[in-house]
């Protein structure tokens, strides 16, 4: 590796150079880009020689970050998808440990809860239910049982990763949450006011709709989603 000696390093009476960021450290190394003396802690390997951290930072500011097909930052990993799956599983386990989790977080418009001797629901200011209900699934072995969360998480793992890589993490999460919220609002407006609801289906169907739009834009086959 080439190292450019700092100016004034040679000569019997020359002053010993010090690091421009750490004046107390003597050094005979310097940045090949700006020429300033710098200690090893302030230098980074470059294609030729070493550059100081400030020059590297300035160079990175002019580098354009890769973007996805639809303008968002490119995503190489489905981090949000796997995080959403983990959250749904954690909420499902919480339901087994404490069944009342469903009563506190499920979507319901207005319902009298005899356990707390109060009327609960979105109509009474519990707006968080519009989103928390999307992370709950059929508890225990009643109804669909474990098949409810298994099917929803399987569908999320099928459509989530490719869509997240195309949209980017932030846009993908926005689509997911807005779909969950939209489904809950529609349920609140159309279903009986005392009818409870839970599940990630609304969010996942929203991802299906987004995938159809993306597939049409990119002219790719979407029959697998059907």
84: buried, middle or exposed (CB in 10 Å: 19+, 13-18, 0-12)? buried
Rounded Cα distance between 19 and 27, Å, is 6
Cβ(19)–Cβ(39) under 8 Å?
Answer: yes
| Distance of alpha carbon 208 from the chain centroid | 19
Pairing mode of beta strands 118-120, 111-113: antiparallel
Residue 137 reports pLDDT greater than 80 = yes
pLDDT at 11: 47
Lowest model confidence (mean pLDDT) among 38-47, 56-65, 139-148, 176-185: 56-65
| Residues whose CB falls within 8 Å of the CB of residue 71, separated by 6 or more in sequence, listed in order | none
Higher-scoring residue by pLDDT: 105, 7: 105
Task: Quickly state the pLDDT bin for 202 (edges 50, 70, 90).
Answer: very high
Instruction: For the full predicted model, state whether its pTM sits above 0.95.
Output: no
Cβ(108)–Cβ(129) under 8 Å?
Answer: yes
pLDDT at 216: 83
Average pLDDT of the segment spanning 122-128 = 94
pLDDT single digits (tens) 60-74: 775 555 555 555 666
């Amino acid at each position: 590796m080439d190292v450019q000696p700092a100016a004034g390093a040679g000569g019997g009476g020359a002053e010993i150079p010090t690091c421009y960021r750490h004046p107390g450290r003597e050094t005979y190394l310097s940045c090949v880009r700006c020429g300033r003396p710098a200690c090893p802690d302030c230098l980074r390997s470059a294609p030729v020689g070493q550059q100081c951290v400030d020059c590297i930072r300035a160079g990175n500011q002019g580098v354009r970050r890769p973007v996805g097909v639809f303008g968002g930052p490119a995503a190489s990993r489905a981090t949000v998808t796997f995080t959403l799956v983990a959250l749904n599983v954690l909420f499902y386990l919480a339901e087994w440990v404490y069944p009342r989790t469903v009563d506190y977080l499920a979507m319901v418009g207005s319902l009298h809860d005899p356990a707390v001797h109060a009327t609960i629901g979105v109509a009474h200011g519990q707006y968080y239910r519009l989103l928390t209900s999307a992370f709950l699934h059929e508890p225990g072995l009643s109804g669909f049982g474990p098949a409810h969360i298994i099917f929803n998480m399987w569908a999320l793992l099928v459509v989530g990763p490719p869509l997240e890589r195309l949209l980017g993490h932030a846009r993908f999460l926005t689509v997911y949450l807005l779909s969950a919220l939209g489904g809950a609002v529609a349920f609140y407006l159309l279903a009986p006011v005392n009818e409870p609801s839970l599940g990630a289906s609304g969010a996942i169907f929203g991802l299906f709709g987004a995938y159809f739009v993306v597939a049409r834009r990119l002219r790719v086959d979407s029959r697998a989603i059907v």
